[in-house]
Amino acid sequence: MIESIKKDIKRIYDFRRNVDFIGLINAFRFFIRIKKIPPVDILYSCHDVSRPILLNGKYYSPLIDSLIIKLNNYSNITLASPFSRYSGNKAHGNTINLNLYVIVSLLRRLFTSGSIALKNTKDDPLIKFYNKLYEQLNLKLIIAIEPSIEMCIAAKQNKIKIIDVQHGVIEIEDPSGYYSLDKRFFYQNSGWPDYILCRNIESYKNVLKLKDYTKPVLVGNLSKFFYENIYPSKENTTLVKTKVKTILFTFQPFYNSLAFSKNNMHEGIIFPKALLKLILKSNYNFVLKLHPIQIQNKNLLKSHIKAFDKLFAGCENVDFIICNQKPLEYSLANSDLHITFNSASLFDAIDYGLKTILLDHNLTRLNQYFGELVDSNSVIVDPNLEIDFSKHFSENNQKTYNEASNDFNLEDFISKNIR
């Protein structure tokens, strides 16, 4: 009983963390009736956090919009995940907001089951909503970033294949994580996507551990495809003035180490003590790239910029303005070494020929996240940043990477799985 209550509290906390007040308001402002939406072949779906690129007044999702462009022979529509701010004219990809239906469904669930969490998969209001939506759109396929359990169950009931697009680390050990077996235990392991589009072989191997509930498909780095083939503005804006090697640090929205968070608080933000010391005494250039959540949230962005202004006053070798106005790929293409705590940006760095220094000292966790990469030449675990950096900069600024998925035929895969 106590464990059940604890799980409900955890689900409510996770739900609140994903709720944005403006997102709730926009559920009412941009509401449209399902019956007014014309049929389409493919339904895409993602949240604001997966839309870090702002072009011509529209927010783009490199993952989803790359697929839309690759699969432009199919009619499509994009569903703004609960509770996104961006839809309509604010988002690329014919994005609609049906989150008022989600709100009503969750309220009905609360009144009928006494919980906001999914309890009964056979008669759940939210699953019924997705069933109604799929039938109205006469869908042939669903592609989403971490599609919800309810979306997946409804897809199975309608005999529609549903595909997840890898967004971060494929983490299967965290009981509350999207890819955890525990997450769907109470639903008889229903609610899995049919496939997971993986960006690299390490993630592919992690998905194989999920038994037969879902299957991995290696498609490569869609964000890199977007930057190289779709992103229009690659003008050579100088990130820093001095012509020496550049080190990129990528932030995370939160750190799964209370000790790290507590011991590295500076000017109201979490910033690694070892990195701060290095920057203040070093002649290298440094690029401080925030996470999309920190960039899109005006208060978080303001607090970080304010802290940077104080911490690095007078430092001409630090950029935290230009890099946060451009995609992560721009910073990667203009850097020589990468530092992060344990972010999935490690994968991006490898794709741009950069080695990564990890500040997380928990090797068990790092091996769960990154597998054999932890012991490869691409990764150095050094929480105190004591290594000789000169031995690890990218050679001759080479930014090429031979992706294992270059021969993957996405169009053929989709044609075999579309209803």
Please tell me the predicted confidence (pLDDT) of residue 211. 85
Q: Is residue 286 pLDDT above 50, yes or no?
A: yes
Joined together, the tokens standing for residue 386 give 């004591």
Confidence of residue 26 (pLDDT cuts 50, 70, 90): confident
Lowest mean pLDDT of 22-31, 73-82, 129-138, name the range. Answer: 22-31
Cα 200 to Cα 144, 171, 218, 352, distances in angstroms: 18, 14, 6, 13
Q: What is the residue-averaged pLDDT of the chain?
A: 90
Question: Does this chain's domain 2-220+411-417 share its CATH topology with 246-397?
Answer: yes
H-only helix segments in 171-297: 201-208, 222-229, 258-263, 273-281, 292-296
Which pLDDT score is estimated for 235? 60
What average pLDDT score do residues 94-114 get? 94
Q: Rounded to two decimals, what is the model's pTM? A: 0.90
- CATH dotted code for 246-397: 3.40.50
Confidence at residue 400, expressed as pLDDT on a 0 to 100 scale: 47
Q: Judge whether 359 and 331 are in contact, CB under 8 Å.
A: no
Q: What pLDDT digit, counting tens, does each position of 36-77 carry? A: 999 999 999 999 999 999 988 999 999 999 999 999 999 999
Those residues with Cβ within 8 angstroms of residue 394's Cβ, 6 or more apart along the chain or in another chain: 336, 337, 353, 354, 355
Fold of 2-220+411-417: Rossmann fold (3.40.50)
pLDDT of residue 19: 61
The reported pLDDT for the residue numbered 18 is 52
Domain chopping of the chain, boundaries: 2-220+411-417, 246-397
